[in-house]
Amino acid sequence: TSIFVIYIISWILSFFGIKVFIWGTSWPAIIFNIVAAIFASLSLLLDFDYIERHKNKSPKYKEWLATWGLLVTLVWLYVEILRLMRKLAIRF
């Protein structure tokens, strides 16, 4: 959630013309994207663990909750990897 808060704050600051380091191609921005991708990967592992622990034991609405969490995590990981690849392509 803290990565999400950083993204939201930097997005709001961009409305006022304030450039935040995470949107550039500097080394801190690349490292931030690597850290965000690592957290997304670990979150994916937690989603699969949640699914495995609640398989065949939980009510029907928890299946949708697990599916939604898995989908959001996959999209987040995909976006972070694309963002990292773009920054590395521009940098090198």
Give the global pTM. Answer: 0.86
What is the number of structural domains in the chain?
1
- The pLDDT value recorded for residue 46 is 95
CB 73 within 8 A of CB 44: yes
Range of the domain at 65: 24-90
Q: Is residue 2 part of a domain?
A: no
Residue 71 has pLDDT above 80, yes or no: yes
Residue 67 and residue 73: Cα distance in Å, rounded? Answer: 10
Where is average pLDDT lowest: 24-28, 49-53, 59-63, 70-74?
A: 59-63
Residue 42 has pLDDT above 80, yes or no: yes
**Burial per residue of 28-47, b for 16 or more beta-carbon CB atoms within 10 angstroms, e otherwise:** ebbebbeebbeebeebbeeb
pLDDT band at 58; cut points 50, 70, 90? confident
Q: Is residue 43 part of a domain?
A: yes
Residue 62 has pLDDT above 90, yes or no: no
Q: Is residue 45 part of a domain?
A: yes
Cα distances (angstroms) measured from residue 74 to each of 6, 68, 82: 20, 10, 12
Q: What is the mean pLDDT of the chain?
A: 92
